[in-house]
Chains A and B, each alone.
Chain A
């Protein structure tokens, strides 16, 4: 079986995003970027499946700027076998990504596509589901456990109030949640070896996909600053204060 792992280059989780002064978006100039943490978990899971002898090849794919090659190299250093970059400098919405992935699935024929449940930059949580719908394949989202069993995969899902296990016929789509695994480090020897692995660069046009955005961003603003609380001396003072504020 072949596994396809889509990965996205996003603002690093340690960095506080800063909104551009003109409110058109988040300032990414010279800000540290990394692989989306949920995608790292997806790469790790793919490697574990391969190490367990249940897959032969892992292909990492990213849709993004030329610099996303670094993200793909990280996936290769962790253990992916080869990589494909669909290079574009425009922001690509989940539907367009799903369409590109659909075209790559048609070419590569993976038994499993495993990807993050969402990217920490736009928090869309859509790509995996859209891809499953476009392909008409079963999906197991928010996975905290993935077990390949012959031509099926059992996916334990984190749902409100507990865990749910679903059994999907392969080929299928799985999206990862935080507790699925702890991704490994890309070691220096493996980073050196990853430089020599195959990385193909293509464009959306190569797959005949129109990636023009369908949504228009009106305004990006920072969350309102929390106003500091006030201390009151006793219950009476509290009641007076609440009345003053018109909430009681």
Chain B
């Protein structure tokens, strides 16, 4: 047995994103005497954060009301104009705002880097004496004999590829909390275990996801309109009968953040989210904005698309889920930051009260209730049928129906349909022989790029001599099932080119896993048709080093 050091805290928070940092700050605001720590797997706060982002400041206003005056970088760029484009292959149609329900307006919102907002939140947190430990993933959940969560264990450092300790081996440490908060973001790997262990999804629909691929560009000053935000629907997803959309936000410093989200419930195994993004950039109206500019960063991250009906039970003995670990993204608005922060704040208030009442490691049912009575629930219930309507009726009709449904809910408090059902993204993939391979255009090296060059702009890195952090439950599945039946979809859906089918000696294809390229988006864990891939935390500090994403 490895001997591990232990450290007790009042609250242990897993994940230093907006949810985790808001939880920590609120705890200290309510009771400065509480001891609070935040574990973050990225090499620094913000290193693994990838978002749009156009942010609704509602939660930030509640948490730190003077944020605009206190040097928060988000304050730099208020949204000034807001466009919805419906794209066809060559043209765009601006959708008038009149057909959009009022909450789709971005008035009063701000656009900027969520990573930088987190860096700023971390400074506020440290000023409140919250201990933040970047570079230390929570690798395991610790339970007591009664089955309650009592904390987490950080990952071991200095283990070789075969799992043996190296000369610089450092065992992980046990961090114990009266309560442990899981704020891992979309598809948290510990959250996944908790959902299974405590059957947290018993009364809700399964969570579903999209994969968002994003770049940051410097563009010529004469094309830059700070605060302009554009969303697109339609082409190119219309070509593959799948769902998705683009965003392009003019942020500070003559930069635009742009990205494309492909819903992971696609059926055609030849769909290639990276290439969808590349061809979307080549649309004449997008290309026009980028021409003469320069790409400075690239990355990808899964986003929750399940909406309100996929929100699981948020509490279990000893711990809670907050933010995208639970899944509070408002899908038609592509916004989850404000709800993530608000859920963390509600969790903090419940935990502080409980700890001060002498409680520990029990089930905080009052937090679950608080969320269901908060503006998070109200906001998400308005839009709960957007995604399933699109999934059911297809992109074009579904979008219109979803719009009508959202209008009815806004005006009259009822919609077209009862909350609709989801199927897991792993279950939607169909056999390759039902489809034709898709011929995507070649990159021009100016606006569109190849995948490996792109990955180098995520600045990802992993210590090479460590166990592969993408675990196959059964090593034969990729070549026995995925390749023959689904034409090896992992070679396409991974935005970092981690999965490669190779046949060096002509003896038959093998799956090669280039784990050091992984950008921690979690798509493989979500979309693998037989759920054979398990993403686990690599050695601390590994993964992307996103600047300003």
Contact = CB atoms under 8 A, between A and B. Distances in A.
Contact of B7 (A31, A32, A192): A192
Interface stretch (A10-18, A141-149, A156-164): A10-18
Which 5 pairs show the lowest CB-CB distances between chains A and B? A187-B170, A189-B5, A14-B461, A188-B173, A31-B547
Nearest to B167: A182
Contact of A184 (B168, B172, B545): B168
A191 B541 CA distance: 14
Nearest to B116: A30
Interface string B80-105: 00000000000000000000000000
A185 B168 contact: yes
Interface string A53-83: 0000000000000000000000000000000
B157 A187 contact: yes
B307 interface: no
Interface in A1-29: 12, 14-16, 18, 21, 29
B43 interface: yes
B173 A16 contact: no
A30 B46 contact: yes
Contacts of A189: 5, 7, 173
A131 B5 CA distance: 41
Given A32-B44, A192-B7, A15 B158 contact: no
Given A32-B44, A185-B158, A187-B157, A15 B545 contact: yes
Interface of B: 5, 7, 43-44, 46-47, 113, 115-116, 119, 131, 133, 136, 154, 157-158, 167-168, 170, 172-173, 218, 254, 296, 456-457, 459-461, 545, 547-548
A188 B154 contact: yes
**Do most interface residues of chain A lie in helix, strand or loop, or is the interface mixed?**
loop
Contacts of A31: 547
A161 to B, nearest CB: 30
B265 to A, nearest CB: 34
A32 B168 contact: no
A29 B548 contact: yes
Interface residues of A, number: 20
Contact of B459 (A16, A30, A187, A192): A16
A14 B456 CA distance: 9
B173 to A, nearest CB: 5
Contacts of A12: 43, 459, 545
Nearest to B255: A21
B548 A188 contact: no
Nearest to A18: B296
A15 to B, nearest CB: 5
B43 A32 contact: yes
A187 B157 CA distance: 8
Contacts of B136: 188
Contacts of B168: 182, 184-185
A125 B57 CA distance: 47
Q: Which of A32, A184, A195 has the most CB of B within 10 A?
A: A32
Q: Which of A15, A184, A185 has the most CB of B within 10 A?
A: A185
Contacts of B43: 12, 32, 34
B157 A30 contact: no
Contacts of B157: 185, 187
Contacts of A29: 547-548
Contacts of A188: 5, 133, 136, 154, 172-173
B157 to A, nearest CB: 5
A18 B255 CA distance: 14
Given A30-B119, A189-B173, 4 more contacts: A12-B43, A12-B459, A32-B547, A189-B7
Q: Which of B46, B136, B168 has the most CB of A within 10 A?
A: B168
A102 to B, nearest CB: 33
A29 B547 CA distance: 8
B6 to A, nearest CB: 9
25 contacts: A12-B43, A14-B459, A14-B460, A15-B547, A16-B456, A16-B459, A21-B218, A29-B548, A30-B46, A30-B113, A30-B116, A30-B119, A31-B547, A32-B47, A32-B545, A182-B168, A184-B168, A185-B157, A185-B168, A187-B170, A188-B133, A189-B5, A189-B7, A192-B7, A192-B131
Contacts of B44: 32
Nearest to A189: B5
Q: Which of A187, A188, A191 has the most CB of B within 10 A?
A: A188
A14 B545 contact: yes
Interface string A158-187: 000000000000000000000000101101
B170 A30 contact: no
Nearest to A70: B44
Contacts of A30: 46, 113, 115-116, 119, 547-548
Contacts of B46: 30
Interface string A174-216: 0000000010110111011001000000000000000000000
Contacts of A192: 7, 131
A21 B221 CA distance: 11
B16 to A, nearest CB: 14
